[in-house]
Amino acid sequence: MILFFYNLALLVVLILGSPWWLWRLATTQKYREGLAERLGSVRLLKAQPDRPLIWMHAVSVGEVLAASRLVGELDRAFPDYQVVISTTTRTGQALAHERFGADRVFYCPLDLPWATRAYLNTLQPRLLILAETEFWPNLLNGCFRRGIPVAVVNARISDRSWPRYRVVRPFFRPLLKQISRVLAQSPTDAERLQAIGCKPECVSVAGNLKFDVRSAAEADATRLLKTAAPNLRFVVAGSTLEGEESALLQAWPQLLAADPQLAMILAPRHPERFAAVAALLDNSGIPWIKRSDWRSQPAPLSPILPGQIVLLDTIGELASVYSLASVAFVGGSLIPAGGHNPLEPAQFGVPIVMGPHHANFRAITEDLLAHQAVSIASKENLANTLINLLRDSSSASAMGNRSKHVFDQQSGATVRCVDSLRELLSVNSSPERR
């Protein structure tokens, strides 16, 4: 009955919102990309009819990065299975193509009855794995009706999402109690997931997959930066949001006064903002270059000059570029947006600066704070915080070593997830289906 009202509400939203959606489809490429797949047209994946299939869903770039090592371990642990990966966003799709190969990556269908039915009927997965908390009622119900077990890995409920989940838990409880495995990031996440309806015996703490992610092979951007700026030090500002770039540009003259051999790598979080950040850099009067322009330049590149800013307007290279940082600023945290992942610079032993808003990575940030492995700065003292780390190399190095220690100490979530999924598959695979 609840599913009936959910689908009725979806229908009403689609009808009332159709003029807006049609306008967005007509004017914005990202809304058109993958539309047929999202509506239930199942693109042919690499044909392997003799192998049962595991479907993993990772929403966007962050989830794809977190799941990248897990997918590799699933390939090794279950050689008789084919692992396919879906994403929701365009940027997630591009990164998944790069990491896993286009022949097993597709857009996740919208949570419409006919779209999810088409995928489940065609793919016939033996297991659906959801990264974090992608609880879509029609997809879940379709799996349960077919006897397909569902597992959630890296499961979490952020402080910002928790009040909303408490409001809708009467609706979700009948679905969530049917999920076979819920592997939470932290004890707090496990408690919250049980509170909204997941069975306590199906919930366990596996840890955060992002602690297990190691940067892939050195990105082209990293190699080119080393060549074009061998004697410069870098501030790498990653995953920045609107309002943070302007704060960094305002602080830049003070940073240069403290260290004239400095350059900045600025990596906005969302590709659709690349043009806006480029315009902001144009208006700042600060010399800057675009990473994407290097693709059309003959080698060798022109050297990067002290005081220049490099706009990293590419996808999937930031994690590797953090390795060049003398100090890293992790964005989404100067403004109340919940913050982004500080583990990417931590894996390289880089000293980390974040703003005060980091609820989305609360457990990770608290662990780093407990080990004095991150500095928290407001907009007002951002420049001074960065300058102190740039000037005091011994303190910066010690902080970086502590951040890497935290990163290494917390690893192991991937192994725990694979072990749990192996048990789940063995329980749910009858002899004739193996």
Burial class of 16 by CB neighbour count within 10 A (0 to 12, 13 to 18, 19+): exposed
d(CA 5, CA 402): 51
Terminal alpha carbon distance of the chain: 35
Active-site residue set? 63
Q: List 127's β-bridge partners, or say none.
A: 54
Angle between helices 393-409 and 382-391 (to 10 degrees): 100
In the numeric block, which tokens belong to residue 268? 């906005």
Spatial distance between the Cα atoms of 328 and 342, rounded to a whole number of angstroms: 9
DSSP string covering 192-209: HHHHTT--GGGEEE---G
Location of structure tokens 């492995």: 373
Coil, helix or strand at residue 130: strand
Alpha-carbon distance 308 to 368, whole Å? 30
Give the pair of three-digit tokens for residue 415: 């192994």
d(CA 183, CA 133): 11
H runs (alpha helix) in 2-50: 2-27, 29-32, 35-38
| CA 356/CA 411 separation, integer angstroms | 25
Q: Is 144 exposed, middle or buried (0-12, 13-18, 19+ CB in 10 A)?
A: middle
Task: Specify the length of the chain in residues.
Answer: 434
226 contacts: CB under 8 Å, gap ≥ 6: 324
Please provide the DSSP assignment of 276-289 as one string: HHHHHHHHHT--EE
CA 83 vs CA 51, 75, 128: distances in Å: 10, 7, 10
Q: Which amino acid is at 374?
A: V
- CA dist 249 and 271 (Å) reads 19
- Pairwise CA distance, residues 59 & 89, whole Å: 6
CA distance 172 to 136: 10
Give the span between the Cα atoms of 133 and 151, in whole angstroms. 10
| 297 DSSP 8-state letter | S
